[in-house]
């Protein structure tokens, strides 16, 4: 891999766009991971480097949604611990599993997310009652999505947002805001594992961190003002676009 300043500038710009989009609708990793692979970064190092820059973006989004009262720390600290644990397990497992599984798992996840928000009536509105208790949700669903993020990653934010609406009856805007905190926990856990495993291109991840911070800051300020219907449309468009991109390659 030849690292030039032009390549670094382009990846920083990609990270900025991904950071803003990821904060609003999830799916930022579906922009940054392919970009890293196209830049010549090996698959495991691409996943690790992506965790470095996405951790910065989700940290920025987390601080902003808490600061701006999108979520309360007391409500997310325990789910974040379960998300952290699930992601750590997934990150360790992927070190010993072929990354070819990316070609199967990611399209399936994208198709499920897009289909739910596209075909389920009023999917941007929460059901009348919760379908799973808070304790069961954080001990099963949250670590399961965390494990997916640790092993693969793209679409995790959308998965957390979808599950919050469908299972915990949260309004989409609040669920999306909460998803940022859980996604930070999963990203940070995965970052630690990939760093210890030496699967990181630090200079590339470093410049992408700058772009992520700017993009996530912009996105977090837009998030609490965006209509739930707009979020629903954005999630569907992002998921279908990335699904087409993955299948086309």
The predicted pLDDT at position 207 comes to 95
Q: How far is residue 214's CA from residue 209's CA, in Å, rounded to a whole number?
A: 9
State the total domains in the chain.
1
Q: How far is residue 226's CA from residue 243's CA, in Å, rounded to a whole number?
A: 24
At 164, is the secondary structure helix, strand, or coil?
helix
The predicted pLDDT at position 249 comes to 63
Q: How far is residue 24's CA from residue 59's CA, in Å, rounded to a whole number?
A: 14
CA dist 94 to 82, 101, 160, 186, Å?
Answer: 19, 10, 21, 14
Tokens of 75: 């409500």
The predicted pLDDT at position 168 comes to 94
Q: Which of 185, 188, 187, 209 is nearest to 71 (CA)?
A: 185
Tens place of pLDDT per residue across the chain (249 aa): 678 888 899 999 989 988 887 777 666 777 788 788 888 888 889 889 999 999 988 898 898 888 876 788 999 999 999 999 999 999 999 888 766 666 677 677 767 767 776 776 665 677 888 999 999 999 999 999 999 999 877 778 888 988 999 899 998 888 888 998 999 999 999 999 999 999 999 999 999 999 999 988 888 878 767 666 676 677 677 667 766 766 676
**pLDDT digits 0-9 by tens, 170-197:** 988 888 889 989 999 999 999 999 999 9
Tokens of 151: 């092993």
Q: What residue spans of the chain are helical by DSSP H?
A: 5-25, 29-38, 43-67, 73-94, 102-119, 134-136, 142-151, 156-168, 172-196, 202-223, 228-248
> Cβ–Cβ contacts within 10 Å for residue 122, how many?
10
The predicted pLDDT at position 194 comes to 92
pTM as predicted: 0.79
Domain range for residue 104? 5-248
The predicted pLDDT at position 188 comes to 96
């Amino acid at each position: 891999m030849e690292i030039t300043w032009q390549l670094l500038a382009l990846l920083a710009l990609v990270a900025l766009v991904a950071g803003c989009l990821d904060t609003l609708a999830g799916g930022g990793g579906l922009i940054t991971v392919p970009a890293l692979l196209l830049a010549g970064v090996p698959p495991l190092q691409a996943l690790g480097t992506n965790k470095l820059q996405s951790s910065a973006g989700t940290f920025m989004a987390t601080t902003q949604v808490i600061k701006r009262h999108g979520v309360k720390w007391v409500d997310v600290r325990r789910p974040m611990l379960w998300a952290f644990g699930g992601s750590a397990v997934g990150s360790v497992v992927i070190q010993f599993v072929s990354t070819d599984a990316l070609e199967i798992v990611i399209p399936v996840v994208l198709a499920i997310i897009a289909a739910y928000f596209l075909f389920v009536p009023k999917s941007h509105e929460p059901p009348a009652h919760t379908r799973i208790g808070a304790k069961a949700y954080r001990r099963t669903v949250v670590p399961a999505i965390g494990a997916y993020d640790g092993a693969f990653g793209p679409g995790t934010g959308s998965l957390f947002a979808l599950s919050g609406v469908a299972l915990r009856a949260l309004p989409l805007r609040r669920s999306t805001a909460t998803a940022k905190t859980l996604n930070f926990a999963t990203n940070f856990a995965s970052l630690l594992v990939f760093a210890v495993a030496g699967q990181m291109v630090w200079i590339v991840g470093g410049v992408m961190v700058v772009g992520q911070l700017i993009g996530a800051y912009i996105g977090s300020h837009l998030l609490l003002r965006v209509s739930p219907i707009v979020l629903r449309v954005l999630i569907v468009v992002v998921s279908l676009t990335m699904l087409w991109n993955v299948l086309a390659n």
